[in-house]
Structure 1
Amino acid sequence: MDGDSYYDSENGRDLVTCESGRMDKEQDHRQIHHQRVTIHVLPDDVLVEIFDFYVLDSSCYFNMWSRLLHVCRRWRHVMFSSGRRLDLEIFCSPGKRVRRVLDCWPELPLVILPFLNRDYLLKDDEEDDIAAVLEHPSRVSWISFVLTDSLLGKVGNLIQQPFPELESVYLSSRGQALPVLPDNLFGGFAPRLCNLTLVGIP
């Protein structure tokens, strides 16, 4: 047997070749692993651009962007510090433990959207969720729900406050009794409002 060559006569294989092949595979594995973690060397501004594509692509899914927050602490910091740039909004749907959501999330703009149905008639406890969101008028950017006398009784005073971030409002009415909006709607101050739709409301 040659001093630099090793042959396994029982299994009929070159041990040097096998060992070399194993080392090559380990090296390839290390290279692949290294490639997987290279995103961590990207600067924050590049991450923001990547996040922007993700947020835009998932805009039709409520709060889908929040998945990125769970990747690591750095991503969470980058996203929250670039909330305006990424146009991050918190969708507040009734029945989704709204008060808990408001307590644990940063002060991002709020969207009141009862599910995907604009004509959805809210239950009593869901009306309380709407009122909870409207207690933060400086953050509400979008309002969309069916306005009933019952709901108006709960939010009548709340919607007479200034809403500086409000951009879109869609209010509709169902039933014979038409709710009457207060004269001082939104406190007379909603400078960003660009869309106001009232259906069945005088």
Structure 2
Amino acid sequence: MRPIGDSSHIASIYVLDGDSLLNVFYLYCPFLLGEDEDDETRLIGGMGKWVCGRWWYTLAHVCQRWRHLILGSASYLCVSLVCTNGTPVADMLAHSPPLPLLIDYRNEYGDITAEDKEGAILALRQRDCVRCVRLEMPAMNLQKLVVAIDHEYPILEYLVISDWNEDNNAILIFPETLQAPHLRHLTLSGFALPIGSRLLTTAVDLVTLCLCMVHPSTYFDPNTLLRWLSSMPQLEALAILFLIPVPNRDVERQLSQTLIMTPTPHPNLCRFIFRGVSTYLEALVHRITTPRLEKLRIGFFNQLMYSVPCLLQFLNTTESLRFESAKFEFHKEHVYVGIYPRGEADMYALALHVDCWHLDWQVSSVAQFFDLLGQIFSEVEHLTLEHKEHSLSSEEHNEVDCTEWCKLLGSFRNAKTLCIDDGLVRGLSRCLQLDNRELPLELLPELEELTYSGSGNTSDVFTSFINARQNTGRSITLVHPLLKTMPFGAAL
């Protein structure tokens, strides 16, 4: 579809009546955070340029009729004035009607100049007109702008303020007096939040919340976070991200000093993203209920032991989560697991990311985690294990204890298909050989198809396992993508 600003397109709609024109304009009004961005990208503030808010500028200059129609329906069309890098804000405000302001200054647009700083501060001080704010830049420039944000912003709906530089040691202080009673979308990264922040206690209509801690000074304990969340019943998407590890023992000590709160219901929460340590996550899921949760993404730092009984209870009480397939990806420095409701790789229901540097540690970590949660994956029918790039220096760590592989596979007792990537075939096949052990007969008892990849004919590595299954009357079809597919026993 051509943009509405195309001259031939304008000519074709010029003769439409007012109501029809208004409908056409409404259809071309762009979504603020980008229609082509996924939920998680929008949750952290979006990556698209908000200059799309200028969509109406050209139309308003076509003729007086169109200009009156647009400005007369400014609220319906979400018409705004855009303040961004290179915008002469003072002149624009002096020669424009008092429309809502969309303020968007990002470092990727170019270095912010002294003129841009003055313009941004001037725009931020128009408190009654500011509807959307996004500031993403280095800490030094960011703090100078944030000091201009205080008191009440009566129509503010979007607030995204981020310093995503993990190496930054500057301590950014968020204004305690800021209030935005109609705020719906909030993303804050790199700021020390005052416990008495009026913003987080008055934003009762908040729909999305993303808080990212990139420095020890920005840390807040789970009890404080839970108090904030208790005043946000409309929340639909939540992201709590720690880019700095906090010891589990510190979180446990903080929890022991506070009485346990009554669980807070979040009936509209559909997406929850967390990155940090397991104890912090346990504290959160123990005190919130989310019956409509559809997507849960968890990221853990390196840790030796996991204890997630509250997460198990949390998942058991979440009615919307469904699991049909699971995919494990073992990368060079982390392991990623996606659990999908219908086998669709872009629509995970549960995702797990663990920072690990060697295959043996990666398998041990996810085996421990899924062993603790195994009972909730009884519906998983399709299991995939992929081996991504690993450095040569870690080869000595690529020999995984068979007990760990068996523990991991044992969490998916009802899996009907198993797909094994080339790099894992030899190691897993050794774990599936009997060798006087009875465990493989109990492993994956419902398995019907085993797919493996790699060069050459390596089907013999599964001989012991599949023969043992056939002897019990449970045949397994062996599949190689580059060779023929047939029940085991026929010549490939």
The TM-score normalised by the length of structure 2 is 0.30
Which amino acid in the other structure matches residue 93 of structure 1? Answer: T
Q: State how far apart, in whole Å, the 2-side matches of 1:57 and 1:197 are.
A: 18
Identity of aligned residues (%): 27
Is 1:101 the equivalent of 2:92?
Answer: yes
Q: State how far apart, in whole Å, the 2-side matches of 1:116 and 1:68 are.
A: 29
What are the superposed Cα offsets for residues 9-56 of structure 1, whole Å, 9 maximum, x if unpaired?
A: xxxxxxxxxxxxxxxxxxxxxxxxxxx78844x432222112112324
Is 1:180 the equivalent of 2:173?
Answer: yes
Matched residue of 1:130: which SS? Answer: helix
**Equivalenced residues, count:** 161
Displacement of 1:81 in angstroms is 0.2
Contact kept in structure 1, 2:83 and 2:89, CA below 8 Å = yes
Consecutive unaligned residues of structure 2, counting only runs of 5 or more, are: 1-10, 35-49, 193-492
Q: How does 1:51-200 map to 2 (within 5 A)?
A: 51-56=25-30, 61-114=52-105, 117=108, 122-145=112-135, 146=137, 148-149=139-140, 151-153=142-144, 156=147, 158-173=148-163, 174=165, 175-185=168-178, 188=179, 190-200=180-190
Displacement of 1:154 in angstroms is 5.5
Is 1:201 the equivalent of 2:216?
Answer: no
Q: State how far apart, in whole Å, the 2-side matches of 1:122 and 1:65 are.
A: 25
Matched residue of 1:85: which SS? Answer: coil
Q: State how far apart, in whole Å, the 2-side matches of 1:57 and 1:179 are.
A: 30
Which amino acid in the other structure matches residue 197 of structure 1? Answer: T
Displacement of 1:141 in angstroms is 1.1
Change (3 A) 1:176 1:121: farther
Displacement of 1:116 in angstroms is 8.2
Q: State how far apart, in whole Å, the 2-side matches of 1:98 and 1:72 are.
A: 24
Displacement of 1:101 in angstroms is 1.3
Q: CA RMSD in A?
A: 2.8
Displacement of 1:123 in angstroms is 3.2
Change (3 A) 1:200 1:154: closer
Flag the structure with higher strand content: 2
166-175 vs 109-118, which moves further: 109-118
Displacement of 1:140 in angstroms is 0.8
Flag the structure with higher helix content: 1
The TM-score normalised by the length of structure 1 is 0.68
Matched residue of 1:86: which SS? Answer: coil
Q: State how far apart, in whole Å, the 2-side matches of 1:147 and 1:140 are.
A: 23
Q: State how far apart, in whole Å, the 2-side matches of 1:38 and 1:172 are.
A: 41
Corresponding residue for residue 43 of structure 1: 17
Change (3 A) 1:56 1:149: closer
Contact kept in structure 2, 1:95 and 1:129, CA below 8 Å = no
Q: State how far apart, in whole Å, the 2-side matches of 1:144 and 1:171 are.
A: 6
Contact kept in structure 2, 1:142 and 1:168, CA below 8 Å = yes
53-62 vs 122-131, which moves further: 53-62
Q: State how far apart, in whole Å, the 1-side matches of 2:30 and 2:190 are.
A: 33
Which amino acid in the other structure matches residue 103 of structure 1? Answer: A
Corresponding residue for residue 11 of structure 1: none
Contact kept in structure 2, 1:142 and 1:166, CA below 8 Å = yes
Q: State how far apart, in whole Å, the 1-side matches of 2:184 and 2:172 are.
A: 23
Displacement of 1:97 in angstroms is 0.8
Q: State how far apart, in whole Å, the 1-side matches of 2:25 and 2:100 are.
A: 18
Consecutive unaligned residues of structure 1, counting only runs of 5 or more, are: 1-35
Displacement of 1:85 in angstroms is 0.8
